[in-house]
């Protein structure tokens, strides 16, 4: 193995704190954090101490960090409104980029990141950790094994109790279309992943119940069609009082030619198969256990890519098809129309 890749870590608190303390230590031999940025002094100091970084490697402005530190790539874990400015500056400075989802908080900023990537030729990967969890790998394996025949349609459901202000982190309770921008982008990506195709059209709406703790829209219902001839239905709710299917407990159901595959909050993957007449069997599927899951799987893929390996599934160019679903959902909500997602995604190609 060669020298570790030099990493500029942008974001030190919130989710970035989990990256620094839980995800990155696994890769201690493959990457070295050589600089840390956060606009907020408290997380900068706490995470800087954890990383044992000297004071001259800690920055409150990413532009100063890019001037002062020699790095091979940047990890960006700050709110989506800042992703494009930071990613584009990093690419211009010659760094590859591993960035948290969503690509950005507006479609125009997503396109601007694509333009910078094309201009600089740098590698950019967007995190979609939920594709690589044990429960989803197991669910997808049943679908692709052919055990229940062809896939007809998919249901995805996310529902969490965020009725207390700031229960989902401060900025999410303040931004427009909070469910979609911060939540549903994961589930749209998952529906693409499970459908084995890209979204063609999408319709539906998001809204904000009068009793919610959000300024922006926090509930949503959408239907969609994929180019794999699969249909999808999505329910998202940040105001759930009853049946919780929150993070890592999302409900997915695949209705197939020969049965159904069901994944609920208990994380068991069940297959319901028709055995003739009015008879059905219900069986648990043994879990697939990959060596690295979620974020760690994605960090490993990115480092392999830097080392000359294959491009990961969630590179920017591919993840723009997920971003197109997100911004089509916003457009559908605002216009009441069915949106041509394929045409939107083509704007980025």
Question: Which stretches of the chain bind ligand NAD, using CB under 6 A?
Answer: 10-16, 37-40, 43, 62, 77-80, 82, 100-101, 127, 129, 169, 171, 182
Rounded least distance, CB 47 to ligand NAD, Å: 8
In Å, what is the CA distance from 65 to each residue of 39, 90, 225, 275? 12, 10, 44, 63
Rounded least distance, CB 82 to ligand NAD, Å: 4
d(CA 125, CA 84): 13
Rounded least distance, CB 140 to ligand NAD, Å: 18
User: Is residue 89 reached through a cis peptide bond, with omega within 30 degrees of 0 on the bond before it?
Assistant: no
Of residues 270 and 321, the one with the C-beta less far from ligand NAD? 321
Rounded least distance, CB 257 to ligand NAD, Å: 33
Rounded least distance, CB 186 to ligand NAD, Å: 7
Helix, strand or coil for residue 26?
helix
Of residues 22 and 335, the one with the C-beta less far from ligand NAD? 22
Rounded least distance, CB 45 to ligand NAD, Å: 11
Rounded least distance, CB 299 to ligand NAD, Å: 12
Of residues 9 and 142, the one with the C-beta less far from ligand NAD? 9
Of residues 87 and 332, the one with the C-beta less far from ligand NAD? 87
Treating both helix axes as pointing N-terminal to C-terminal, what angle do 83-92 and 107-120 enclose, rounded to 10 degrees? Answer: 10
Rounded least distance, CB 169 to ligand NAD, Å: 4
d(CA 86, CA 56): 20
Task: Show contacts of 114-122: CB within 8 Å, 24+ apart.
Answer: 114/316, 114/317, 114/320, 114/348, 116/84, 116/87, 116/88, 116/91, 116/92, 117/91, 117/316, 117/317, 119/91, 120/91, 120/92, 120/94, 122/90, 122/91, 122/94, 122/95, 122/96, 122/97
Of residues 47 and 270, the one with the C-beta less far from ligand NAD? 47
Of residues 101 and 321, the one with the C-beta less far from ligand NAD? 101
- Strand 151-159 with 251-256, pairing: antiparallel
DSSP assignment of 177-231, as one string?
THIIIIIIHHHHHHHHHHHTS-EEEEEEEEE--TT-S-SS--EEEEEEEETTS-E
Of residues 62 and 222, the one with the C-beta less far from ligand NAD? 62
CB contact set of 75 (below 8 Å; sequence gap of 6+): 7, 8, 9, 10, 11, 19, 98, 99
Of residues 40 and 281, the one with the C-beta less far from ligand NAD? 40
Q: In what order do the strands lie in the sheet with 96-99?
A: 58-59, 31-37, 5-10, 73-76, 96-99, 124-126
d(CA 180, CA 290): 29
Of residues 270 and 298, the one with the C-beta less far from ligand NAD? 298
Rounded least distance, CB 318 to ligand NAD, Å: 16
């Amino acid at each position: 193995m060669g020298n570790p890749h030099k990493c500029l870590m942008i974001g030190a608190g919130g989710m970035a704190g989990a990256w620094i303390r839980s995800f990155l230590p696994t890769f201690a031999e493959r990457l070295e954090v050589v600089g840390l940025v956060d606009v907020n002094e408290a997380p900068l100091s706490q995470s800087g101490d954890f990383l044992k970084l000297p004071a001259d490697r800690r920055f409150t402005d990413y532009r100063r960090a890019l001037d002062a530190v020699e790095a091979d790539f940047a990890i960006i874990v700050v709110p989506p409104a800042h992703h494009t400015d930071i990613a584009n500056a990093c690419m211009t400075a010659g760094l590859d980029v591993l960035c948290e989802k969503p690509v950005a908080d507006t479609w125009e900023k997503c396109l601007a990141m694509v333009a910078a990537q094309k201009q600089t030729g740098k590698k950019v990967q967007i995190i979609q950790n939920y594709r690589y969890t044990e429960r989803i790998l197991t669910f997808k394996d049943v679908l692709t094994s052919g055990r229940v025949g062809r896939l007809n349609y998919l249901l995805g459901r996310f529902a969490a109790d965020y009725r207390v202000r700031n229960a989902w982190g401060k900025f999410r309770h303040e931004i427009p279309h909070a469910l979609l921008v911060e939540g549903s982008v994961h589930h749209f990506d998952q529906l693409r992943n499970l459908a084995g195709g890209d979204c063609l059209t999408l319709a539906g709406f998001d809204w904000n119940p009068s009793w919610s703790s959000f300024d922006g829209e926090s509930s949503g219902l959408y239907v969609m069609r994929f180019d794999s001839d699969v249909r999808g239905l999505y329910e998202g709710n940040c105001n759930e009082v009853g049946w919780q299917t929150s993070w890592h407990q999302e409900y997915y159901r695949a209705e197939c030619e020969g049965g159904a595959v069901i994944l609920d909050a208990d994380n068991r993957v069940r297959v319901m198969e028709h055995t003739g007449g009015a008879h059905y069997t219900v069986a648990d599927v043994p879990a697939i256990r990959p060596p690295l899951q979620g974020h760690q799987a994605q960090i490993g893929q990115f480092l392999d890519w830097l080392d000359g390996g294959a491009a990961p599934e969630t590179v920017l160019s591919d993840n723009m098809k997920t971003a197109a679903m997100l911004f089509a959902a916003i457009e559908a909500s605002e216009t009441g129309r069915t949106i041509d997602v394929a045409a939107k995604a083509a704007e980025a190609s």
